[in-house]
Chain A
């Protein structure tokens, strides 16, 4: 019982993202839900014609969301992610790549995720191994939503003393 409380406390302490990830569904969380919205607006790859046309002028979605100096908008503040949303949004927007790299035990998205969760460079190898181990459990339980992935990674960080120690530093 006390170990669980400790785990929870540690998770909340150094990773406010963890708190958000565990508590909030990104779709209904504070001012967000951006992930879904953005991909809805992306030129639908199913319509090849529009894809071809889009390619010619590189018309892009996200110009307003990440508009420079236009103030706050959903999850962003002058075009930068709200600090506490960064890890969640990264997971949300890179879910496929993250899942693949967790299973493969390496990769840019996984390394970036580690950085966002506060894991230092020398600990990345251990983080990757931990992620790979947890992937099978997540997949088996059918729990591969971005929120679940972030939660699993945070739990893994707090469970591994070497990762935790450095993160707190």
Chain B
């Protein structure tokens, strides 16, 4: 053999080796394609596109820097992913080429981050020969189980005796193919909530506010949520059908699947349940900018309004009454005799055997027993210590009922409130003027959240009030002074009209400051902390009236007092009246006696009147009287 032949042979041998598969030539090809994709992504600035920002939940801070709201490392494929969209995109593309298990869900990146995969695949036109698509069996099974055909937004409203629940909650329900009105319960939901350990006490409040809890997405079946909200917590629920295309539903589900990999720190005010639900909807349809109006805080009811304001997004709204609403509506359909039989049955189911009951027509007997059973179930879920007694009585009532062998009639239960989205927005500003004693003034006020008894009612739970972070500034003309007239840290009032079935105390709490005229001081700051417990009753003389009485305790701090403070208690009685749909009045009279600090007593009158002009506009007039101190103000209010 001559060297030339050897060289030729060796050359051929190399060529054959190089051409054969199995040689690690494959790796450079992958690297090439990966690099190619990354470069194209960089050139087309994909990392700046809205969809990428939505998928990674980037928000731009005051300095224009991006930071993801995601707080779990497992959500990012790049160590700089939280702050660097480009790095994250590059790392994501790279990770698509391997089958390493990533994320909390422990799947290959194409499946763990399936929404990212599908979006990048579409934008960069992945070549399946150079980037092999993986089967994502877990996602496919999950999606098949969801069996999606539509999406509904669910809003549980406030419940009785707890004004804080007025904030509401929102979650999504994935409506199934072939779902009927009767089988809505079987649908899965997508819910974002804080993972709160058992037995959390007061720390629950500040941990929730400051993000010490982790929030997760989960998919409990709808019947679970209905039981929690409607049965246990007695909340009315509103179901808003959303108009999403099949493609948009897929995007929503894929992104929800990705969110299973991670948590956000749960911030009660801003990044709460409703905020994150909005983020899912925005990825489904990026032309929606639902979160734009929520910069400092996100109130669920406001997010429902935001969704409804998006043209064409919401279809039908369905009402799902709480058990207490059902009972009240059904009870109104009973005759007096049937009503007392129903109450009798609740106490002693054997009344069903008596002739006064047995002589009723079959349908009426069934109805009376149904109301008795509804009420016994209501009591069976309460904090009443006699829960087992109620459950046993219910069993006997139901046994009697089943013997009647007819199905119960469908009753249309009308809500007591209008749809929550027609309610006024939660931040209020007002401009007004008036006079106090010998002086006139102009005033401007601001209230951050939420709803006052005299704010327009539609869409709000009746007789519940919650106000926080409010301030009123006045300019007194003669005295030529501008001062902070009133401020409220928190002011909660809950009236629960008592009747033969529903008996709960009314209560109120108030922390704030106001202005006092006392002892030579014309206008003095006065810090107020007070609260009370009482009772309320409803009547329908004109339209609707509620009478209330409270026993109260109060502490005041002001330099106008001897010893700078006084502590005492007393009572308040009053009434509110819905005179017409637009006009509401409140009158109250209070007596206080302060045995501690500056020993004194105090009698106060209040009359307030509100005329609704529109959903977000109203006119108020308030008259306050204290010892030789009279204050009248008229103001225009706007809600936004």
Question: Which residues from chain A sit less than 8 Å from chain B, CB to CB?
Answer: 41-42, 45-60, 62-71, 77-81, 90, 93-94, 96-97, 99-100, 102-109, 111-112, 115-116, 121, 124-125, 128-129, 132-133, 135-136, 139-140, 144
* Chain A CB within 8 A of B238 CB: no
Contact present for B218 and A63 (CB under 8 Å):
yes
Residues B145-202 near A (CB distance < 8 A): 145-146, 159, 162, 164-165, 167, 169, 180, 182-186, 188, 190-191, 193-196, 198-202
- Shortest beta-carbon distance, B469 to chain A, in Å? 15
Contact present for B377 and A67 (CB under 8 Å):
no
- Shortest beta-carbon distance, A120 to chain B, in Å? 11
B373: A residues at CB distance < 8 A: 100, 103-104
Cβ-neighbour of B402 out of A48, A52, A102 (below 8 A): A102
Instruction: Tell me the nearest residue of chain B to A52, going by C-beta.
Output: B162
Contact present for A139 and B402 (CB under 8 Å):
yes
Instruction: Tell me the nearest residue of chain B to A105, going by C-beta.
Output: B407
Taken together as a complex, chains A and B put the C-alpha atoms of A116 and B142 apart, in Å, by 18
- Shortest beta-carbon distance, B408 to chain A, in Å? 4
Cβ-neighbour of A50 out of B164, B195, B200, B370 (below 8 A): B200
* Chain A CB within 8 A of B266 CB: yes
Taken together as a complex, chains A and B put the C-alpha atoms of A135 and B106 apart, in Å, by 47
Cβ-neighbour of B142 out of A80, A99, A135 (below 8 A): A80
Question: Which residues from chain B sit less than 8 Å from chain A, CB to CB?
Answer: 104-107, 112, 138-139, 141-142, 145-146, 159, 162, 164-165, 167, 169, 180, 182-186, 188, 190-191, 193-196, 198-202, 204-205, 208, 213, 216-221, 223-224, 227-228, 231-233, 256-261, 266, 268, 272-273, 366, 370, 373, 377, 380-383, 391, 394-395, 398-399, 401-403, 405-408, 410
Known: A59-B193, A132-B402. A41 touches B183 (CB 8 A): no
A136: B residues at CB distance < 8 A: 399, 402-403
Contact present for B193 and A63 (CB under 8 Å):
yes
Contact present for A100 and B398 (CB under 8 Å):
yes
Known: A62-B218, A104-B407. A93 touches B370 (CB 8 A): no
Contact present for B167 and A56 (CB under 8 Å):
yes
* Apart from A81-B221, A132-B407, 9 more pairs, CB < 8 Å: A47-B383, A54-B196, A58-B273, A68-B260, A71-B105, A90-B221, A100-B394, A105-B408, A139-B398
- Shortest beta-carbon distance, A117 to chain B, in Å? 12
Cβ-neighbour of A42 out of B106, B184, B204, B228 (below 8 A): B228
Contact present for A108 and B257 (CB under 8 Å):
no
Taken together as a complex, chains A and B put the C-alpha atoms of A106 and B366 apart, in Å, by 12
Contact present for B407 and A70 (CB under 8 Å):
no
Taken together as a complex, chains A and B put the C-alpha atoms of A77 and B185 apart, in Å, by 19
Instruction: Tell me the nearest residue of chain A to B217, going by C-beta.
Output: A68
A65: B residues at CB distance < 8 A: 218, 220
Taken together as a complex, chains A and B put the C-alpha atoms of A32 and B161 apart, in Å, by 36
Contact present for A80 and B380 (CB under 8 Å):
no
B399: A residues at CB distance < 8 A: 103, 135-136, 139-140
